[in-house]
Structures are given as C-alpha cells and as structure tokens.
Chain A
Amino acid sequence: MEIATTYTEAELPALLKARDWSAFSFLYENYSGALYSTILHIIPEREKANQVLLETFVYIMLNIQHYSIEKGSLFTWMFSIARKLSLRVIKAEVDGLEQHVLDGDSNGYGLYKALQQLTPESRHIFELVYYKGYSYQEVADRHKQTAQAVKQQLSKALIQLRDILK
C-alpha cells in the first residue's frame, strides 16, 4: 500500500488522538510488522496472533490519550501493549496448568535472534518473564530460588541483551 504522508513519531500521538486516519495508516504500515513479530513470538498460532494484533491497534487508538512521551517512546508503549495483550491470551489458555518447557515454535520472531546470543540461563529466565509473563516470584518458585535472585539474573540478561541490540 502506498503511503501518502510520512510522520515523525513525535507528531503521531496528537494526530491519532484526533482520529486522523492517514496518520493511523502510517502507524500501521510502519509498526504492524514489528508488533506482529513480537506477538508471534508469544503466540505462534497465526489466527490468534492476528486477533491480538487487531486488539493491539484498537487498544492503541482507544487509549492514545493515556500515552505520555515522558514515560517513553510511542513505539515502546505500543510494543508493551502488544506484549501484554499476547500474555493475556496465553495466561488465559494455560491458566492453572504447569508449563515447564518453552515451545520452539516462535523461532525467528521478535527478539529471537538477539536471545540466541544470551547464555542459556539468562535466556530461559528472560523468556519466562518476558514472553510467558511470569512474575519474579513464579520463576523463583519454579527454580527454588528467591525472587531477588531471579531479579538479579534477569538484570544480567537484560544488560547482555542491551549490548547485543546496540
């Protein structure tokens, strides 16, 4: 699809608030792929991922007035929404069920390539927290550790990740 106008990330929120569909179209064309990739990492099933992407954009448009530049970039905000809406789906699905093994279906999506470079331990904790939505305490219970220890391990993973993404 051809995009008539391009916008900067800074001018988008006000236009989206005013329901400027040209701005929305730009937002979608520019970011849907990145968000979709993240969603697929959490939910490999395409049909469900499609639904979450739809919900993500609807959520973005209905809550754009709550976005604030002081708290981070528009992309960070949207990225976070896509992740949380995805986690909500898998949480609803596995509610009450034990889930020990991470499935390998999400290969190639989201931060997959960056995560490949983490140490296996760091990667495991990062995936549990970021892609499965576990709390520190839940991870700690699973690995017979303290929540504080999990938090420290995750911090290490995050620092590694930052350096990988640089």
Chain B
Amino acid sequence: MNIQEYILSGIVESYVLGIADENDRGEFEQLCTQYPELVLARNKFEQSLEASALQHAVHPPEHLKASILASLQQPTPIASPKVITMQNGNMQARKTNWQPYLAAASVIVLLVCGYLIYQLRSTNSQLLNENQDLQARYKSTDSILNKIIDEQKVIRDSNITVVNMVGTQAAPRSSANIYWDSTSTNVFLVVKNMPKLPNEQQYQLWALIDGKPKDLGVFDASDDKVILKMNNTQKADAFAITIEQKGGNKSPTLEKMQSMGKTNL
C-alpha cells in the first residue's frame, strides 16, 4: 500500500469527522499502528479542526453549565451509563422511552400498596376479633375459677353442714349436695346428676322446717359442676327437690319429689 496516497485520499478527514463507516474505521485504526506518518496526519487534521472549532465557538447560555452539573451530580444520573456505539455513520435513535415503564411501575406500586393496606386492615380486624374472643373466654374462665374457689371455701368452712341429697323412688339416679351454713344461713347447691327437664319445667329446692316446706329457689339440670347460691334459711330439718313449672311454685308438688336429704341434726 502506498501510505502517502492513502493519507491524501480523504480517509483521515473522514475518520476524524466521524463520517467513515465501520470497515474504513477498522482499517484506518489498524494502519495507524503500522504507519506513524498516518498518525501524524490524523493529529494534524485534528488540531486544525479543533483550532477552527474553537475559533468559531459560540458561548452557550450561562445557566446550562449548572444544569449539566446538576444532571451529573445527582445520585442517579439522568442518562444510564449504557454505551451507545458511536462508530457507525448512521446512529439510530436508541433513547429508551421510560415513561410508559414508569407509569406501569407506579400503577403496580399503587396496587401493591392498596393490597398491603387491605391486608393490614383485615389482619387488624381479625386480631381485634381474636382479642375480643380471648377476652370473653378469659372472663368466662375467670368466673368459673372464682366459682370453684367459692365452692372450695364453702366446702372447707367448718360451719357448713353438707347434706347429701339422694334420689327418691321416682328418680333414683338424681343426686345433689346441699351446703348449708347454719351461722350465715347461706344455702349452696351443687348439682351432681339431675335428669334434664322439658323447657317449661324447673327443679325447685325446699327446706322442710317442722314439717312445712320453705321455698329456696329454682335451678336447672344444666347448672351442674357449679355451685348455686340458693335462698337463705335459718332452720332446716331436711331439704327436698321437686319438679315444678318454670319459675317455681309456692308449695311443693310432693309427688314430683326427686330427692331428699335430712340434715344431721
């Protein structure tokens, strides 16, 4: 190759101005490594081009420098550091339009936020319900515990007379305990086993004093395993349980007597 001819062919200017195509550029760069005079020619044209450009410089508006610095110094650069190939004569517009992606992303973020808020709310109300449920259970357990403690007190109290109610012939399996405190006159009843009654009927407890019945209140078969406080009585020769209409009767229906127990006096 005649390098002088090559230098004078216009390739140097074409290369420096960025007009040369990929092949010509490759060849030029290759030849530059072999021919120092080609590099010299390139440097010379670059210098004259630069000198001319500087001579015909037009000052950009003052504010532009600050804008450029702001663009460069913000944490996320406005342009991604992606390499755009500058070698080809024709550069296609490769600027990515981020707007639709950003719009889509913000919609997704919005949806996710909405979903999370919804989740949070439903979890919150769920927890609230659970809390209320636990509180109710706690109260119920607490009241049961208190009743058990009361029961224990009643049973341990030395003044208490325990009357074991045994089933009559009409209801041989019926059984209950009466705890009668003759000092405080309190009467407690613990249902051990009383058959279930129809809805319109209830059991009624009586104290028998000198052969006369005294009403001590009504109860249900379902009141088992807890201690029931009945009406007080100062005296009692015996206790009896009858089946009466709901709410009780003024006088016992003796043929419906379920169980009876005598005090130990």
Decide: A133 near B56, CB < 8 A? Known: A54-B64, A63-B83: no
Are B56 and A109 within 8 A (Cβ)? yes
One of B71-79, B112-120, B156-164 at the interface: B71-79
Residues of A within 8 A of B (CB): 1, 21, 24-25, 28, 31-38, 40, 46, 50, 53-55, 57-59, 61-63, 66, 70-73, 75-76, 79-81, 83-84, 87-88, 91-92, 95, 108-114, 129-130, 133, 135-136, 154-159, 161-162, 165-166
* B12 contacts the other chain (CB 8 A): yes
B residues 72-121 with Cβ under 8 Å of A? 72-73, 77-81, 83-84, 86, 89-93, 95
Contact across chains for B79 and A162 when beta carbons are under 8 A apart: no
Closest chain B residue, CB of each to CB of A29? B65
In Å, the complex CA distance between A1 and B63 comes to 12
Partner of A76, one of B49, B69, B71, B83: B49
Query: With A54-B68, A58-B68, A88-B95 as given contacts, are A37 and B16 in contact (CB-CB < 8 Å)?
Result: no
**0/1 interface trace, chain B 4-29, chain A, CB 8 Å (1 if under):** 00001111111111110100000001
Cβ contact within 8 Å between A165 and B56:
no
B53→A79 contact, CB < 8 A: yes
Query: How many inter-chain residue pairs (CB < 8 Å) link A and B?
Result: 157
Q: Does B43 touch A at the CB level, under 8 Å? A: yes
B8 and A159 contacting across the interface, CB-CB below 8 Å: yes
Is the CB–CB distance between B79 and A38 below 8 Å? no
Q: What is the minimal beta-carbon distance from A157 to any residue of chain B, in angstroms?
A: 8
Interface set, chain B 28-77, CB cutoff 8 A to A: 29, 32-33, 42-43, 45-54, 56-61, 64-65, 67-69, 71-73, 77
Least CB distance, B139 to chain A, in whole angstroms: 69
- Closest chain-B Cβ to A46's Cβ sits at a distance in Å of 8
A37, A73, A154: the one contacting B50 at CB < 8 Å is A73
Residue of A nearest to B9 (CB): A155
Contact of B90 among A63, A92, A135 (CB under 8 A): A135
Chain B residues whose CB sits within 8 angstroms of the CB of A28 once the complex forms: 65, 68
Write out the residue numbers on chain B whose beta carbons fall within 8 Å of the beta carbon of A155: 9-11, 14
Q: A88-B93, A133-B90, A162-B12 are in contact. Are A62 and B81 (CB under 8 A)?
A: yes
| CB atoms of A76 and B16 under 8 A apart | yes
What CA separation (Å) do A71 and B83 show in the bound complex?
17
Is B56 in contact with A112, judged by CB distance below 8 angstroms?
yes
Query: Given A80-B86, A135-B89, does the pair A54, B16 have CB atoms closer than 8 Å?
Result: no
Q: Are A58 and B93 within 8 A (Cβ)?
A: no
Q: Which 10 A-B pairs have the closest CB atoms?
A: A33-B57, A155-B10, A158-B13, A34-B53, A80-B18, A158-B10, A165-B48, A37-B58, A62-B81, A36-B60
Q: Which of B10, B67, B73 contacts A159 (CB 8 A)?
A: B10
Q: Are A161 and B18 within 8 A (Cβ)?
A: no
- Among A32, A81, A109, max chain B CB count under 10 A is at A32
Q: Which of B29, B50, B91 contacts A34 (CB 8 A)?
A: B50
Question: For A40, what are the chain B residues with a Cβ–Cβ distance below 8 Å?
Answer: 58
Collect the chain A residues with CB atoms within 8 Å of residue B15's CB: 72
